[in-house]
Structures are given as C-alpha cells and as structure tokens.
Amino acid sequence: MSTSQGAKTGQTENGAESQVTGTFTLKSGLAQMTKGGLVMDVVNAAQAKIAEEAGACAVMALERVPADIRKSGGVSRMTDPKIIKEIMATVTIPVMAKTRIGHIAEAQILQALGVDMIDESEVLTPADAENHIDKTKFTTPFVCGARNLGEALRRISEGAAMIRTKGEAGTGNVIEAVRHARAIRRAIAVARAMDETELYSYAKQLQVPLDLLKKTAKLGRLPVVNFAAGGLATPADVALLMQLGVDGVFVGSGIFKSTNPKKRADAMVQAVVHYDDPKYLAEISEDLGEPMVGINCEDMKEKWAIRESKMD
Amino acid sequence: MASVKIGILAFQGAFEEHKRCLENAWDKLGSNATLDIIIVKRPNDLTDLDGLILPGGESTTMSKFLERNNFQKLISDLVKGHNGKLPVTWGTCAGLILLANTIGGIDVTVNRNTYGRQNESFEASLMLTNDELKGNNGINGNIYHGVFIRAPGIVSVDSNRVEVLAELTNIDHQVRPVAVRQGNLLATTFHPELTDDDRWHKYFLQMVLERGIPH
C-alpha cells in the first residue's frame, strides 16, 4: 500500500517543508492502527467514555443506535454535529461518523468537523440511488460496507481505506455478518486458485478493476483492513468473526441495548484479542446479563444490507 | 541452531505489519541465527525475549490490556532488566507513549496527538542524525520518509542519556526529535512498519544482535 509513497520520497532533497496530508497511505494507515480492535457505536459523551474505558479502539458517533433506527423508521440521516463534537471533545481515541450513501455534502460536513473516519453507511437512508461518494476527493479516510468481494473492491476503487461486512445492523443476529465474511473469504480463495487469464473474466464477472482483483489474489486478503459488522451481540459472536479472518469488529446496538453495557463492552473488547482461546472466552462470557433482544432476519421488514445492491 | 526471539505486543494495532517488516529485514542481515517471532498476548509470551516491539495502535486501548494480568509490571521489569536479561525494546507511535508514560524507562516528555486529528496526519521527509541508520542506505542516506498518523510529539528530551536518532523540521521551522534511543530502548513517533524502507527494523535487529545471542 505504501510502495508508491515510499518510492516517491527517495528523491526528495530536503527534509523541511515537504509535508503531505490526506494520502492513501495515511488513510489506510489509520485503519491499520485500529486492527485487532473494537469500534463501538455511541450516542452521547457518557457512552463514549464507557467505550473508551472498556478499551474500544474507536467510537462511531450516532444520534440513535441501529436498533432504534429500525424501531422509529423514517429517513435516517447524518448525526447532529453537536453530538459529534461533544463526543470528539470527550475521548482521545478516534471518532468516526456516518454519512448517507452518495451524500457528498454530509461527508464534506463530517470532514469539516474533523472526524477521524467517515462511514458511508447503508444503516442510514441512501441519498443517491446510483452513485457512491468519490472518496478519493477527501482527506478523511472512509470505511464502507460490503456483502461480497465485488462490493468490497468497488468501494476500494472509489477510495475506501477500510471495509466492513454489512451484516444486518440493529438485529443482534450474526447470521448476515457471517454470510458476508464467508462470501468475501470464499471469493478471494477462488481468485487465488485462478491463473491470470481466468482473473480477466472473474474481474468482469465481479465488475471490479482487474488490478485490484490481481492484488487481492496475490495478497490472499483484501488490500485494505477488513472488519466485521452488523449484528454482533456477544463475545462468542466476536470470536466467531475473528476466526473467519476479519481484522477487528464494529459493535452497534449489541452493547448499549444490553442490560449491562459496561461489562459487555469490556468482555467484547477482550474477545477480539483472545478469540482463539475458548477457556478465556468462557470466563469473560460469564454473567454478562441479558444481551440485546434481537430480531430474526427473516422477520424483518427491510434488509439494509441490500440497500446499495440496486446500483451495484 | 541459535535463535533470536522477538516479541510483538499484540493487544491491538499494527502488529502484523511489524512482523512482516522484521522478517524482511532479518533476511537481509544474513545472520546465521533463526528469527523467532512471538505474538504477545499472555504474560507467558514474554519469557526469554531478546527483543520486544510495542506497536502503533491506540495507546488507551493497549493501556487497558496492560492493567490486566499484572502485564504492566511484567513489561516494566523486563525492559529495565530486572529478570537478568535486558531485551531491546522499540515503541512506535502508541508504543512510544507506553514507553514514556506507562511502562517507563525512556526519559522524554511525550504529548499525545500533538499534530491534531487524522486530517492533520502527514507524511514528511525527516533527517537521520545517527550514522548507523544513515549508513544502511547509499542514496540520500540521511533522509527518511516518515508516516505520522495522529502522532505523538516528543516535547522535551529529559536526560543526556537519550540519543536523538532523527529530527523533523516542522512547518513552523522548528526542529523536533522524532526518534530517540536510550540504552536498550528505541522509540519512534512515526510508523516504519507502514513503509518499505527497512532501515529501522534492521537497526532494531542489529541492536538485538549486538547484545549477543545467548540461546
């Protein structure tokens, strides 16, 4: 990822006055610094503090957690800047915030606020039925949701510095996150087994740039950091997704919709690190109180994960 | 065969990136010993280390993990040589904050997020002031391309036992240290693990090899 940047600098003559900001190395680098961590949805400063104290590697500043967005219905938009600013003033860890898909102006506002990362998110109501944001125009890094390798590589080609599975946010049901993590992993394994000739037609089939597909096949993983998201509610859910090879997790409603958010936050942060240690997971899973109630995905009125597929 | 055992603290952050860089740098050093990299998550993983890396990531997150299982004291004792061995220890970015503030042992004053938030993260050429680091690279030997992400700043060097290894001329024309060494401890405010320039990883491994391999 840093190859081109590194090559450029060898020729720089003088150390002074050659600072550059907003490069892809810096954007994807921030994502790399969140690896092995848990990003927690928070709706106010008090929750942000709990998240930080539990060891979250970043927070997502929101007006309502996804479970409440589902409940209240209607159009869901960018969070009030006042809430975002309060959260930014409260914690020292990175603060992320969501823009609607394709809503360039909301993203510009979030960048002006100085958030550390922007999530172009299907959890909010999409603003553009055909286009995603051209993320290369921004200095702030973006994370985007994906259900499969095609979506993931298209978002990366638009400039996303980080990918997360979509899952089904606000359900407390992990099935979709697992489906998406497995789909991406399986498609990469298929690409890896192909020769160069086959990759041409696979790129066409996936509707992705050939060079990105080649890079992915060579690396055996997505070329940017890849987290799981959408329905994780327990330390075991976290461990399951980590074992499927993601670099970290987002947890939304799963924490602050449970009966003991502090304890659950703590346990889920621990689970990201110790995902391969069932004995330890048994200890930290004990007596966490009731998890969020949860929704069975087949009972849902609206699946958010398919929100951007109409245009894909 | 003799082996060099390097631990990478893996609570959170860019520990895999360091692993890759260490392996690449090791191949180029041409040592007869083998490199054994330990992903450190449990206290037992700290046993018999010749070197330890505290990676970049979120220092607050890592501190929370250090509070558990007596980890902080174990690492603190380790880097101060209380266990008989004095492993070479390198903190990058968040790792520097841990070395300066939490674990202790390096006499510098550190300011978190000194340049601001992510939008102020930057890449810049910095000046190497240490001959060994310069010597590893023929062309433009004294220049190194630094990647600074929500980086901490070294506000002051508080002991003459601290050697400054690299300096950055800021936009305000002030020259500030961005890499320091004190005995067996090494610290950088930037991220060599995000670049292909392996001089810092070589330098770290050479520090380890200079101490001899007791295995």
CB contact (8 A) between residue B143 and residue A6: no
- Tell me the residue length of chain A: 312
In whole angstroms, give the CA distance from residue B41 to residue B179: 26
Rg (C-alpha) for chain B, rounded Å, is: 16
pLDDT tens by residue, A224-249: 999 999 999 999 999 999 999 999 99
In whole angstroms, give the CA distance from residue A252 to residue A173: 12
CB contact (8 A) between residue B147 and residue A2: yes
Q: Chain A residues with CB inside 8 Å of B14's CB? A: 32-33, 35
In whole angstroms, give the CA distance from residue B192 to residue A25: 12
A247 annotated as belonging to a binding site for a ligand: no
Nearest chain A CA: its distance from B31 CA (Å): 26
- State which residue of chain A sits closest to B95, comparing Cα positions: A33
**Integer angstrom CA distances of residue B62 from A269, B49, B54:** 11, 20, 9
Nearest chain A CA: its distance from B1 CA (Å): 30
DSSP string, A196-252: HHHHHHHHHHHT--HHHHHHHHHHTS-SSEEEE-SS--SHHHHHHHHHTT-SEEEES
Enumerate residues 102 to 161 of chain A having a beta carbon within 8 A of any beta carbon in chain B: 111, 114-117, 139-141
pLDDT tens digits in sequence order for chain B, 215 residues long: 689 999 999 999 999 999 999 999 999 998 889 999 999 999 999 999 999 999 999 999 999 999 988 899 999 999 988 877 899 999 999 999 999 999 988 999 999 999 999 999 999 999 999 988 886 555 667 899 999 999 999 999 999 999 999 999 987 788 999 999 999 999 999 999 999 999 999 999 999 999 876 54
Residue B159 within any structural domain of the chain = yes
Number of domains within chain B: 1
CB contact (8 A) between residue B150 and residue A52: no
In whole angstroms, give the CA distance from residue B146 to residue B125: 6
Interchain contact A279–B (C-beta under 8 A): no
In whole angstroms, give the CA distance from residue B194 to residue B125: 14
Compare CB distances from B13 to A10, A33, A93 and report the shortest one's residue: A33
CB contact (8 A) between residue A11 and residue B117: no
Domain hosting B139: range is: 3-210
Provide CB contacts within 8 A for B46, sequence distance 6+. B7, B40, B52, B74, B75, B78
Residue B215 within any structural domain of the chain = no
Residue B47 within any structural domain of the chain = yes
- State which residue of chain A sits closest to B65, comparing Cα positions: A55
In whole angstroms, give the CA distance from residue A2 to residue A25: 5
- Spatial contact of A266 and A55, defined as CB atoms under 8 Å apart: yes
CB contact (8 A) between residue A32 and residue B17: yes
CB contact (8 A) between residue A15 and residue B14: no
Helix (H, G, I), strand (E, B) or coil at A92: coil
Q: Chain A residues with CB inside 8 Å of B20's CB? A: none
The rounded Cα A194 to chain-centroid distance in angstroms is: 28
In whole angstroms, give the CA distance from residue B215 to residue B87: 13
CB contact (8 A) between residue B126 and residue A15: yes
Residue B36 within any structural domain of the chain = yes
pLDDT tens by residue, A140-199: 999 999 999 999 999 999 999 999 999 999 899 999 999 999 999 999 999 999 999 999
CB contact (8 A) between residue B65 and residue A18: no
In whole angstroms, give the CA distance from residue A57 to residue A66: 20
**Integer angstrom CA distances of residue A247 from A1, A11, A146, A214, A250:** 16, 34, 15, 21, 10
- State which residue of chain B sits closest to A22, comparing Cα positions: B119
**Integer angstrom CA distances of residue A110 from A114, A169, A204:** 6, 22, 34
B51 phi and psi angles, rounded to 5 deg? -155, 155
ipTM confidence:
0.94
Which amino acids of B are annotated catalytic?
A: 93, 191, 193
Nearest chain B CA: its distance from A158 CA (Å): 19
* Half-sphere exposure (Cβ direction) of B63: Cα atoms closer than 13 Å: 17
The CATH number of the domain holding residue B196 is: 3.40.50.880
Q: Is A257 exposed, middle or buried (0-12, 13-18, 19+ CB in 10 A)?
A: buried
CB contact (8 A) between residue B57 and residue A141: no
Residue B152 within any structural domain of the chain = yes
Residue B112 within any structural domain of the chain = yes
Q: Chain B residues with CB inside 8 Å of A23's CB? A: 123
Enumerate residues 200 to 259 of chain A having a beta carbon within 8 A of any beta carbon in chain B: none
pLDDT tens digits in sequence order for chain A, 312 residues long: 333 332 233 334 444 447 899 999 999 999 999 999 999 999 999 999 999 999 999 999 998 888 888 888 889 999 999 999 999 999 999 999 999 999 999 999 999 999 999 999 999 999 999 999 999 999 999 999 999 999 999 999 999 999 999 999 989 999 999 999 999 999 999 999 999 999 999 999 999 999 999 999 999 999 999 999 999 999 999 999 999 999 999 998 889 888 999 999 999 999 999 999 999 999 999 999 888 777 766 677 777 887 765 555
Query: In the prediction, which pLDDT does A1 show?
Result: 38
Which amino acids of A are annotated catalytic?
A: 98
* Half-sphere exposure (Cβ direction) of A288: Cα atoms closer than 13 Å: 26
At A259, list the tokens: 């009966």
Nearest chain B CA: its distance from A11 CA (Å): 8
Interchain contact A30–B (C-beta under 8 A): yes
In whole angstroms, give the CA distance from residue A60 to residue A270: 19
- Tell me the residue length of chain B: 215
Query: In the prediction, which pLDDT does A298 show?
Result: 67
Rg (C-alpha) for chain A, rounded Å, is: 19
Nearest chain A CA: its distance from B158 CA (Å): 25
Residue B151 within any structural domain of the chain = yes
- State which residue of chain A sits closest to B58, comparing Cα positions: A57
Q: Please state, rounded to an integer, the average pLDDT across all residues of chain A.
A: 91
- Spatial contact of B197 and A6, defined as CB atoms under 8 Å apart: yes
The number of C-beta contacts closer than 8 angstroms across A and B is 155
Q: Is A59 exposed, middle or buried (0-12, 13-18, 19+ CB in 10 A)?
A: buried
Residue B17 within any structural domain of the chain = yes
Amino acid occupying residue A167: G
Amino acid occupying residue B77: D
